[in-house]
Amino acid sequence: RHRSIIIEDVFPLMLKLPTSKKSLRTFLVKSSGDVAKGPPTSNVADHDYIQPICALTLLLIQSCVVMPSQDDDEQMEGAEDSNDSWALKDDHSGLQGCVAVCNQFTSQMLQRCARKGEEGGASEFRPILSNLIDDLLLVRHLPEYPAAGMLLLYLSHRLGSDLLRASSAAKNQVEATYLATAMDAFGKITSAVAGSLQRDRENPFKLPETMNLCAPSPEPTEEINRCFCGRGNLDTFMIDCDRCHSWHHGSCVGITKD
């Protein structure tokens, strides 16, 4: 519940920020090495920056993960019969909280962007949405932010639904500026996904055919005590490793002298 309150408070705070700071990217993240930007080289910094609002949203989503529950046949049957066939089957995966935060954030953001004229700061939220999607695409491959893919999924579904609904609605019922923003945002997401799929087809990941897991290690010049307990050479039974020739206490590795 407290996450829902935080999300509701975030949007009014965005409008209070000075115009020069609304699109400021100050949150440090590791470089994603995205192919669209080119692989990291010695001339490219190994870090990027995203908006703090993007980082806050991702951390809120990721903080909702709980241990998955036991699979239930009735839940699985209900998920298959659900109309939301596109949604994640999360009834038993421990992601219910993540989905709730994604839905709330997506709904609140796009509702504010879709308001007509200057009502509710719609003209100010549309650039924020565009910058947010740019940041999500930047970090979607980073293991530190797995929620980026989930948020992009829900944003693209909602944007696509709004565009389909607008195609059959009267012209005066839909804000034209929002449609342009939605089309641009939807195009960014789909273009990035299509580019990733094409690169994966052209350069598929391949495992090495053989792996030598028992490669001989160089012979050490002296035998030393490397027991994980951290104690020194005690007056007790110790064993010598045949590979690395380091000594370990028998009691630490569960081996007795007998």
In whole angstroms, give the CA distance from residue 222 to residue 236: 20
pLDDT at 54 over 80: yes
pTM: 0.64
pLDDT at 40 over 60: no
Each residue's pLDDT tens digit, 190-238: 998 898 889 888 888 787 777 666 655 555 556 666 676 767 766 778 8
Q: Return mean pLDDT, the chain.
A: 75
Name the strand (E) or helix (H) holding 17. Answer: none
Closest CA to 57 of 90, 114, 105: 105
pLDDT of residue 247: 80
Dihedral sign computed on CA atoms, order 150, 111, 133, 121:
negative
Question: Kindly report the CA angle at 39 between 200 and 27, in degrees rounded to 5?
Answer: 105
Q: State the pLDDT confidence band at 44, using cuts at 50, 70 and 90.
A: very low
- Six-digit token pair at 258? 């007998």
Where is average pLDDT lowest: 119-123, 135-139, 181-185, 192-196? 119-123
Residue 127 exposed, middle or buried by CB count within 10 Å (0-12, 13-18, 19+)? middle
Section 73-83 average pLDDT: 50
Amino acid at 11: F
In whole angstroms, give the CA distance from residue 216 to residue 244: 9
In whole angstroms, give the CA distance from residue 193 to residue 236: 61
pLDDT of residue 73: 47
Each residue's pLDDT tens digit, 4-17: 888 888 888 877 87
pLDDT at 80 over 60: no
pLDDT of residue 162: 85
pLDDT of residue 43: 34
Neighbour count for residue 206 (Cβ, 10 Å): 6
pLDDT of residue 217: 56
Question: Which range, 108-112, 146-150, 223-227, 246-250, has the best average confidence (pLDDT)?
Answer: 146-150
The residue written with tokens 């609002």 in the block is 53
Neighbour count for residue 93 (Cβ, 10 Å): 16
Neighbour count for residue 249 (Cβ, 10 Å): 18
Neighbour count for residue 226 (Cβ, 10 Å): 13
Strands of the sheet containing 224-225, edge to edge, are 224-225, 246-249, 238-240
pLDDT of residue 39: 38
Interstrand relation of 246-249 and 224-225 (parallel, antiparallel or unpaired): parallel
Section 239-246 average pLDDT: 76
In whole angstroms, give the CA distance from residue 12 to residue 14: 5
Sorted by sequence, the CB contacts under 8 Å of residue 241 that are 6+ apart come out as 247, 248
